[in-house]
Amino acid sequence: MFYPVAGKMIPWFAIPAAILFAAGMYVGFFIAPTDFQQGDAYRIIFIHVPAAWMGMFLYVLMAIYAGVGWAFNARLASMMASALAVTGAMFTLVSLVTGALWGKPTWGTYWVWDARMTSTLILMFLYIGFISLQASIDDTRRADRAGAILALVGVINVPIIYFSVQWWNTLHQGATIRLIGKPTIAAPMLTAMLIMLAACWFYSVAVVLIRLRCIILEREQNAARFAEVNA
């Protein structure tokens, strides 16, 4: 029942994602002014920050789905966790690479082992570990269970990433947008960043739904073949 509904939902997320990406780029490059300290190099934040947020958000979501799948033997939840992993890893990689490309002109180096960057790199390894672990176990139920344990243990890294700039002295700048209090960023810059965040969110939903449909089909095919062989 979920399969056809998911198929119908995909364009409702894919089309707004494309429109929002275009709008975010327009506001970020045509309306947002040049930063007086960083010049135009700061424009990397319009992709870097949303990608970093999505990397963390998708990990938490993946851990929740994996945990639900494990605790309640809900196969759709486990499949959702698998579907989220690749997109989450991709956004984390985007945040690491764009962060390095931002670091070079602003700090003079692509990489330092500072708390924020190191914990984000660990997040990337957690995603890779989750994907590799699931791929290495043939039995899907065992693979889902093993993945869930890793995802749940690794979720502790997300608050570490978020608070790392407060807990340790880091080269990475502190939060410019807070849940409580005014953001320390100009309105057009914030607008562009939020539009790009919305674009990334819509994109994620669309690609995760496509991947989830593929996983459902793959598992059904495998189950059908298994039943056929054992008939």
Partner 1 sequence: MDWPDLSMGKYGFYVWGSYLFSLLLFVWEILSLKQRKRALKQQQQQQRSSPVSPKVFTGSANETTS
Report the interface residues with partner 1, using CB under 8 A.
29-30, 34, 39-41, 43-44, 47-48, 51, 75, 86-87, 90, 93-94, 97-98, 101-102, 104-105, 138-141, 203, 207, 210-211, 213-214, 217-230
Between 128 and 160, CB nearer to partner 1: 128
Provide, rounded to whole angstroms, the least separation between the CB of residue 222 and partner 1.
3
Dig out the tokens for 89 from the structure: 């890893």
Is the torsion defined by CA of 48, 49, 54, 57 positive or negative? positive
Cα-Cα end-to-end distance for the chain: 26
Provide, rounded to whole angstroms, the least separation between the CB of residue 159 and partner 1.
26
**Rg of the chain's alpha carbons, rounded to an integer?**
20
> Is residue 154 within 8 Å of 126, Cβ to Cβ?
yes
Provide, rounded to whole angstroms, the least separation between the CB of residue 74 and partner 1.
14
Between 178 and 218, CB nearer to partner 1: 218
Provide, rounded to whole angstroms, the least separation between the CB of residue 153 and partner 1.
25
CA 214 to CA 131: how far, in whole Å?
Answer: 15
CA 57 to CA 30: how far, in whole Å?
Answer: 29
Provide, rounded to whole angstroms, the least separation between the CB of residue 176 and partner 1.
18
Q: Environment class of residue 87 by beta-carbon count within 10 Å: exposed (0-12), middle (13-18) or buried (19+)?
A: buried
Tell me the one-letter amino acid at 101.
Answer: L
Dig out the tokens for 61 from the structure: 């979501």
